[in-house]
């Protein structure tokens, strides 16, 4: 006998043998105990996802006012440079041995003549500061250039002048360390009592170093991708540093002679004005220099 054809449902479609609610995509899933289980897995991972969203929001929009965010970006640049220098110690070691070499040269050039030494000491002191600063400032953007991190600085969100101030602060800390070493070595090699003039000398050196670091960092960024940057950097920097050098040497000479700071107030005013101008120009122009 011929087998009977299977019965079809209305519309010509064969009915599935297990047309259960679980196979329907629109039906809610059921747990074995009969309770609804569609939201259990989501609820289990909800705290972790909420924590990740909170962290991402905190990274996108840091808390605090505009000034706090600006200072935090500058601090990040400063801390990055500090950690990099602490690992390698390349710049600090190079500056230390360069300062020792300068002191030996000065010692052989001047000899034991106290009068000539007293007359030449302010200029020699700042000559050592400037030469060691040129070596340190020339390496200000060396890590970003060699490791192809310049694009990262360009794409950093927010005001790019925070990068400039962070770099200035890092160079300032490095130069202050080298200058402190140079002062101690000058006092030892040339038998000079600097303790009695230390506070006034620190104020003068601080004003001169701020201006030197401000304009030096700006020109270091300007010449970072130039082929002859080792030659071009001091050629650009030293003429602009004439007001700072002139005021710093004159004020240092008066301090070492034991005169009060009131007698060199005009030189200190020149140093303060030069520092303010250099920092303002650097903050206003660093964004264009970075993207050039």
Task: Give pLDDT, residue 211.
Answer: 92
Is pLDDT of 276 > 80? yes
pLDDT in tens, 184-206: 888 887 777 777 888 889 999 99
Q: What is the pTM of this model?
A: 0.71
Residue 80: pLDDT band with limits 50, 70, 90: confident
**Which uninterrupted H or E stretch holds 271?**
helix 265-291
Question: Would you state the pLDDT for residue 153?
Answer: 73
> For residue 25, is pLDDT > 60?
no
DSSP state of 109: H
Q: What is the dihedral of CA 226, 231, 235, 238, to 10 degrees?
A: 110
Model pLDDT, residue 90: 74
Instruction: For residue 267, name the pLDDT band (cuts at 50, 70, 90).
Output: very high
Task: Tell me how far apart the 2 most distant CA atoms of the chain are, in Å.
Answer: 136
What would the two tokens of residue 224 be? 């970072």
pLDDT band with cut points at 50, 70 and 90 for residue 244: very high
C-alpha span between 109 and 73 (Å, rounded): 46
Q: What is the CA radius of gyration of the chain?
A: 34
Q: Where does the pLDDT of residue 11 fall: very low under 50, low under 70, confident under 90, or very high at 90 and above?
A: very low
**pLDDT of res. 64:** 58
Question: In the prediction, which pLDDT does 169 show?
Answer: 92
pLDDT digits (tens, 9 = 90+) for 160-184: 888 899 999 999 998 998 889 888 8
Structure confidence at residue 212 (pLDDT): 93
- HSE, side-chain direction, 13 A CA sphere, residue 145: 15
Beta-carbon contacts of residue 170 (< 8 Å; ≥ 6 apart): 77, 78, 81, 82, 85, 140
Confidence of residue 50 (pLDDT cuts 50, 70, 90): low
- Per-residue confidence (pLDDT) for residue 43, from 0 to 100: 44
Count of positions (residues) in the chain: 292
How confident is the model at residue 63, as a pLDDT? Answer: 56
pLDDT at 30: 52
Question: CA end-to-end span of the chain, whole Å?
Answer: 92
pLDDT of residue 52: 54
Place of tokens 């505009």: 66
pLDDT 10s digits, 120-166: 888 888 988 888 888 888 777 777 776 667 777 777 777 888 889 99
pLDDT in tens, 100-118: 888 788 777 776 666 777 7
């Amino acid at each position: 006998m011929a087998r009977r054809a299977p019965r079809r449902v209305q519309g010509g479609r064969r009915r599935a043998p297990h047309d259960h609610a679980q196979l329907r995509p629109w039906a809610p899933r059921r747990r074995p105990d009969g309770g609804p289980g569609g939201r259990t897995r989501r609820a289990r991972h909800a705290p972790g996802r909420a924590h990740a969203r909170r962290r991402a929001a905190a990274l996108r929009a840091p808390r605090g006012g505009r000034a706090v965010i600006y200072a935090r970006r500058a601090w990040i640049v400063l801390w990055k440079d500090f950690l990099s220098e602490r690992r390698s110690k390349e710049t600090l070691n190079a500056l230390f041995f360069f300062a020792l070499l300068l002191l030996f040269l000065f010692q052989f050039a001047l000899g034991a003549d106290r009068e000539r030494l007293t007359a030449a000491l302010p200029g020699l002191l700042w000559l050592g500061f400037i030469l060691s600063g040129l070596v340190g400032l020339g390496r200000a953007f060396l890590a970003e250039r060699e490791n192809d991190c310049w694009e990262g600085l360009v794409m950093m969100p927010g005001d790019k002048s925070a990068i400039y101030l962070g770099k200035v602060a890092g160079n300032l800390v490095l130069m202050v360390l080298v200058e402190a070493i140079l002062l101690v070595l000058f006092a030892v090699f040339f038998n000079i009592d600097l303790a009695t003039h230390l506070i006034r000398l620190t104020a003068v050196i601080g004003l001169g170093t701020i201006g030197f670091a401000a304009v030096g960092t700006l020109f270091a960024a300007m010449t970072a991708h130039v082929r002859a940057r080792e030659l071009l950097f001091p050629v650009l920097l030293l003429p602009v540093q004439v007001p700072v050098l002139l005021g710093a040497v004159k004020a240092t000479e008066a301090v070492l002679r034991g005169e009060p700071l009131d007698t060199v107030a005009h030189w200190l005013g020149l140093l303060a004005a030069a520092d303010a101008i250099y920092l303002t120009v650097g903050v206003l122009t660093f964004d264009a220099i970075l993207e050039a």
